[in-house]
Amino acid sequence: VEQRPDETRLQQQLDDLEAKRQALKILNEFAVSLMTIPSIDELLWHVAKEVVGQLGFADCVIYRLESDTCDLTQVAASGDKNTGPTEIANKISIPLGKGITGAVANSVSPLIIKDLAEDRRYIRDILPARSEICVPLIVEGQVFGVIDCEDVRLNFFDENHLEILTTVASLTGSKIEQCMSTERLSNQAQIIEQVSEIVIIADMNGIVLDCNPATENAYQTRKASLVGTNLFTLYSEATQIESQRPEVLKLLKEGDGWEGRVPIRGHNNEVRFFDISVNTLDGQKGHSGRFITVGREVTEQVTAQESLKERNGVLQTMSLELTEALEQSKVAQHTQAAFLANVSHELRTPLNAIVGFSDIMMSTDYIERNPEKALEYNQYIHSAGNHLTSLVNDILDISSLAAKEIQANFVELNPVDEINECLTLIGRKAGMRDIDITLEADDIKTQILFDERHFKQVITNLIDNAIKYSPKKSKIRISTRRNRDDGFEISVSDQGNGIEASQLDTIFTAFSRADWAQAQQVEGAGLGLALVQELLNTNNAQISVQSRPGHGSTFTVLIAPEAVVQNERTQP
């Protein structure tokens, strides 16, 4: 049947419309199908085979630009080039700039070649073709590759083909972009899954939204039980961050970060330390944001620091103890040296006298020929013997008192009366040195509980010392008084050389003598005050000393109120 020319034209228009409708349908289906395509590879094969193949193109090859070699490699195909589900026959690579594809990739603009025989750029693939259409694939503003179609017919491709293929390329490009960013995100997510740092995402109130396995490990619990709880209460031990909560939240809401060290107690009760930094995640100020906590474990450092601190403390105590021990050993050495010097002097002098004088008198008839001398020597021997006896007695007394072998025989006595008796006995000694002793008694009626012999020994020793260590013609003043606490005090003051402050403590130790060189001129073994101290201890009394070198000394015996007898005689 012969058609009229306008009928032919109409038919042509109808065919065109139908083709366009078909193409739009396929493009629409493509757009919808994009949603379910998971990877770039699958997408490219889908485009080559299902989209371009269906759109009436005889064949289609998609090239991908390799970023390292800058070659265009065939990655998907339909038509004769496609020999299996995802197989490409004669898979070739074309350098950027070479061939029609290389030119399109280079210039980033599509090309339609009407007659390939006329184009010297044409590179023949498996089958010879007469015309070609090629459009670039753009991803994130860069050439990703090209979509290329060839046809055996001369001048086959027109503007319609170009429009359709450009649309396909554009849809494909955006899908690739989406695939790449999903891939990047999943890579990032994988990194976060794998890092040893704890990563916690929380909302602006501190409610945990998500966390990584390192966080589960720190808390020794599953993510499910962490999500929904408050981050601040999670730092259970972190009194510091808990108390700083308003401040931290304020900082975060203002878009600033927070950094600090927090202890984290796991469900197994183990406490581990983390240096955490908290920052807003969405980079926006305001209440609706989220924040991210990243924490690095520092438990080992903390434990090391603590044990270092501890060891340091131990070392310090040890060094203190050592210094103390050293001091003590120095004192002990000094005491021992003083002991040897004193004792040997104190023992040798009387022993020499005894041996020497008795030696002289041993010769026959010495005594008959020198009766007066003999009497004198005998007196020397006698006094040396007495001295030795008192020395030995002192030593024995001190050790027995210290060992509590001697008990006080407490009696009620009048201290002033006792002091007067001592003065009668000692008066001669003072007189020999022209020393004047006065007694000032505030309350002559006070009675105390004390061992009488011990009391006399104490007072005699103190007055003895005052005489020994005072210059001739000086004054000694003894005073007694009730003190504020209702105790009783007896002081012996002299105008002697006094004692250095540094030696006030040691003079009460046996065999130690203050200012050794000076004291050497004066007889004494350094036992007097040690004996006084022990005697007072035994009687629950105390002694103190005040002295200023060059200005004399005052020794004060303190009788506790309990030992002061309260009867009407003592009432004021």
**Which of 137/519 has CB closer to ligand ADP?**
519
Site for ligand ADP in 543-572 (CB under 6 A): 553
**Which of 136/526 has CB closer to ligand ADP?**
526
**Which of 1/517 has CB closer to ligand ADP?**
517
Site for ligand ADP in 515-534 (CB under 6 A): 515, 519, 524-530
Q: What is d(CA 456, CA 40) in angstroms, rounded to the nearest whole number? A: 115
CB of 535 to ligand ADP, least distance (A): 12
496 touches ligand ADP by CB under 6 A: yes
Beta bridge partners of 361: none
What does DSSP say about strands 475-482 and 436-441: parallel, antiparallel, or unpaired? parallel
Number of residues binding to ligand ADP, judged by CB under 6 A: 21
Interior angle at CA 53, CA 49 and CA 55, nearest 5 = 135
507 touches ligand ADP by CB under 6 A: yes
CB of 487 to ligand ADP, least distance (A): 22
Q: What is d(CA 105, CA 90) in angstroms, rounded to the nearest whole number? A: 21
**E strands within 15-81?**
60-65, 71-78
63 is written with which tokens? Answer: 């090239």
CB of 478 to ligand ADP, least distance (A): 12
CB of 507 to ligand ADP, least distance (A): 4
User: Is the Cβ–Cβ distance between 234 and 216 less than 8 Å?
Assistant: no
Pick the piece of the chain touching ligand ADP (CB under 6 A) from 10-18, 56-64, 249-257, 514-522: 514-522
499 touches ligand ADP by CB under 6 A: yes
CB of 461 to ligand ADP, least distance (A): 6
Return the residue of 149, 514, 535, 559 that touches ligand ADP, per CB under 6 A: 514
Question: Residues 449-488 vs ligand ADP: string with x where CB under 6 A?
Answer: ----------------xx--x-------------------
Instruction: Spell out the residues 6+ positions from residue 509 whose beta carbon is closer than 8 angstroms to its own.
Output: 335, 526, 530
Beta bridge partners of 37: none
Pick the piece of the chain touching ligand ADP (CB under 6 A) from 70-78, 89-97, 419-427, 508-516: 508-516
Beta bridge partners of 296: 275
Three-state SS across 316-373?
A: HHHHHHHHHHHHHHHHHHHHHHHHHHHHHHHHHHHHHHHHHHHHHHHCCCHHHHCHHH
User: Is the Cβ–Cβ distance between 456 and 416 less than 8 Å?
Assistant: no
Q: What are the backbone angles phi and psi of residue 509, rounded to the nearest 5°?
A: -85, 140
**Which of 446/512 has CB closer to ligand ADP?**
512
210 touches ligand ADP by CB under 6 A: no
CB of 472 to ligand ADP, least distance (A): 15
Burial code (b: 16+ CB inside 10 Å, e: under 16) for 331-348 equals eeeebeebbebbbeebee
230 is written with which tokens? Answer: 């408050």
**Which of 127/341 has CB closer to ligand ADP?**
341
Q: Which residues contact ligand ADP (rule: CB under 6 A)?
A: 465-466, 469, 494, 496-499, 507, 513-515, 519, 524-530, 553
